[in-house]
């Protein structure tokens, strides 16, 4: 077998492979001989068909089968011989000259890049830090308390934080429009659910009253046909209710499943949950910063084959999340929509792989175990979840991959000049 390789630009390679004729004819002859034992051809008894007749009848088909298998085997032999690392499957083109003996084909493919990573010493990085304060905890308890709000009908005039049950009809220049009315709609004054001025206009209203609100839709309103236009709402107030917050007592704590029913235990559990969420948010924030910096510092050629493959993976994940069966509407979603995200993931995968290999970065068993336990603690039976992960190497490998990424982030921070940036719980959780 003779092999020649030509670099045709970037990562693409054009590899020509020549297969000796005897390698092909020998295998064809062996297969025809085996076929002759069982071939059923009219005019001959099974096993008595002359080889010449078998070859005439099946020779072309058998040769095609042999060539397909020879191409597959010889391709892998050739890339190993030439020490090439293909990215994706090749495009095979027969290149046989008329009258030429043997078989020759061309395989066109991309090779994996060998990135030379930038030096990280002297790198300046920020590291986000934060903690759960007593004020954060008090605010969370208030939110939980608000979730248990009960509503009591009142006969007084409505004020901020009251809830009104209303019927309304809106008109623009005396004409109705799509979605202009509602019956039995619950509106809490100050919630910001309605357009500007609507809730404020309900202050002072009483049950049984009818009021008129002259307002204007915002310029950026979602429904463009009414955006920026003046609107008049006729509103009937069915009822006014005031909020009644529960007492912070044993009954309140017990409603959240706290074992001993004490507020101290509830606060401890809530704080632990907040600290776990904050730890995950900090880890994600700092990991993203490290990954962004690695991408910025290391510009590498990306195999198009890997980008296409990753884009297709992302597309399939999206379809699964949308619960779209194969062949149904939406299944023809264009994978090119995911190319940007795919390029980032492919680039990061190559950079991280080179870093892990060149710097011998590892995630030890304790780190993997901690990662599993971190996932399991939110379930009713954490040990069951831990056992589930450790019972399957594939499931555990996913966690090992996450732990290895964390190890890379820690390694990068260890090389850098780090400035800590203080943040708040609300800001990091996207609640500010």
Domains and CATH numbers, the chain: 2-111 (3.30.70.1050), 124-131+261-428 (1.10.3120.10), 150-244 (3.10.50.40)
Q: In 3D, which of 228, 230, 203 has the Cα closest to residue 218?
A: 228
CA distances in angstroms from 227 to 82, 171, 175, 243, 271, listed in the order given: 66, 13, 15, 33, 44
In the three-class reduction of DSSP (H, G, I as helix; E, B as strand; rest coil), residue 148 is classed as: coil
Tokens 């608000």 appear where?
146
pTM assigned to the model: 0.76
**pLDDT tens digits for 274-320?**
999 999 999 999 999 999 999 999 999 999 999 999 999 999 988 88
Using CA atoms of 279, 285, 289, 290 in order, give the dihedral in degrees to the nearest 10. Answer: 30
Q: Which residues contact 370 (CB under 8 A, 6 or more apart)?
A: 403
- Tell me the pLDDT band of 47, cut-offs 50, 70 and 90: confident
Token readout for 29 is 């002859």
Q: What is the mean pLDDT of the chain?
A: 91
Average pLDDT rounded to a whole number, residues 145-156: 95
Structure-block tokens of residue 202:
């309900």
* pLDDT at res. 214: 97
Q: What is the pLDDT of residue 100?
A: 60
The pLDDT, as a whole number, for residue 194 is 95
pLDDT bucket at 418, cuts 50 / 70 / 90:
very high
pLDDT digits (tens, 9 = 90+) for 323-349: 777 666 555 788 889 999 999 999 999
Span 5-19, pLDDT tens digits: 999 988 999 999 998
Confidence of residue 166 (pLDDT cuts 50, 70, 90): very high
Give the model's pLDDT for residue 261.
Answer: 83
pLDDT band at 63 (very low <50, low <70, confident <90, very high): confident
CA distance 101 to 282: 66
Listed in sequence order, the DSSP H helices in 223-302 are 250-254, 263-297
Tell me the per-residue pLDDT of 76-126, one tens digit each, with 9 for 90 and over. 999 999 999 999 899 999 876 555 677 889 999 999 998 899 998 889 999
Cβ neighbours of 177 (radius 10 Å): 16
Q: How confident is the model at residue 387 (pLDDT cuts 50, 70, 90)?
A: very high
pLDDT per position as a tens digit, 211-242: 999 999 999 998 999 999 999 999 999 999 99
């Amino acid at each position: 077998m003779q092999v020649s390789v030509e670099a045709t630009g970037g990562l693409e390679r054009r590899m020509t492979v020549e297969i000796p004729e005897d390698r092909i004819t020998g295998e064809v002859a062996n297969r025809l001989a085996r076929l002759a034992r069982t071939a059923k051809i009219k005019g001959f008894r099974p096993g008595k068909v002359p080889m010449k007749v078998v070859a005439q009848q099946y020779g072309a088909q058998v040769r095609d089968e042999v060539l397909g298998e020879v191409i597959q085997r010889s391709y892998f032999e050739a890339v190993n011989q030439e020490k090439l690392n293909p990215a994706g499957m090749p495009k095979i083109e027969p290149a046989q000259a008329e009258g030429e003996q043997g078989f020759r084909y061309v395989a066109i493919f991309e090779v994996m890049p060998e990135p030379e990573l930038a030096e990280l010493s002297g790198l300046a990085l920020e590291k986000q830090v934060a903690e759960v304060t007593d004020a954060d905890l008090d605010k969370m308890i208030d939110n939980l308390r608000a979730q248990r709000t009960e509503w009591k009908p009142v006969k007084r005039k409505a004020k901020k934080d009251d809830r009104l049950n209303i019927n309304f009809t809106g008109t623009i220049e005396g004409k109705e429009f799509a979605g202009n009315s509602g019956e039995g709609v619950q509106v809490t004054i100050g919630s910001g659910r309605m357009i500007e001025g609507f809730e404020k206009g309900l202050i002072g209203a009483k049950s049984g009253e009818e009021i008129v609100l002259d307002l204007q839709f915002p310029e950026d309103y979602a429904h463009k046909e009414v955006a920026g236009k003046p609107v008049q709402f006729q509103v009937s107030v069915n009822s006014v209710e005031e909020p009644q917050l529960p007492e912070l007592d044993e009954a309140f704590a017990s409603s959240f499943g706290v074992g001993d029913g004490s507020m101290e235990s509830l606060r401890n559990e809530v704080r632990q949950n907040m600290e776990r969420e904050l730890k995950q948010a900090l880890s994600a924030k700092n990991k993203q910063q490290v990954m962004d910096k690695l991408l910025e510092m290391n510009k590498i050629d990306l195999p198009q084959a890997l980008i296409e493959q990753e884009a297709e993976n992302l597309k399939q994940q999206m379809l699964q999340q949308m619960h779209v069966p194969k062949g149904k509407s939406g299944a023809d979603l264009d994978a090119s929509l995911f190319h940007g995200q795919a390029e980032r993931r492919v680039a990061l995968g190559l950079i991280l792989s080179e870093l892990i290999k060149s710097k011998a970065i590892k995630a030890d068993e304790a780190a993997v175990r901690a990662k599993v336990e971190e996932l399991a603690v939110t379930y009713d039976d954490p040990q069951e979840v831990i056992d589930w992960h450790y019972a399957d190497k594939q499931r555990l490998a996913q966690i090992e991959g996450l732990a290895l990424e964390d190890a890379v982030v820690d390694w990068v921070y260890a090389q850098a000049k780090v400035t800590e940036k203080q943040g708040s719980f609300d800001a990091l959780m996207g609640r500010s």
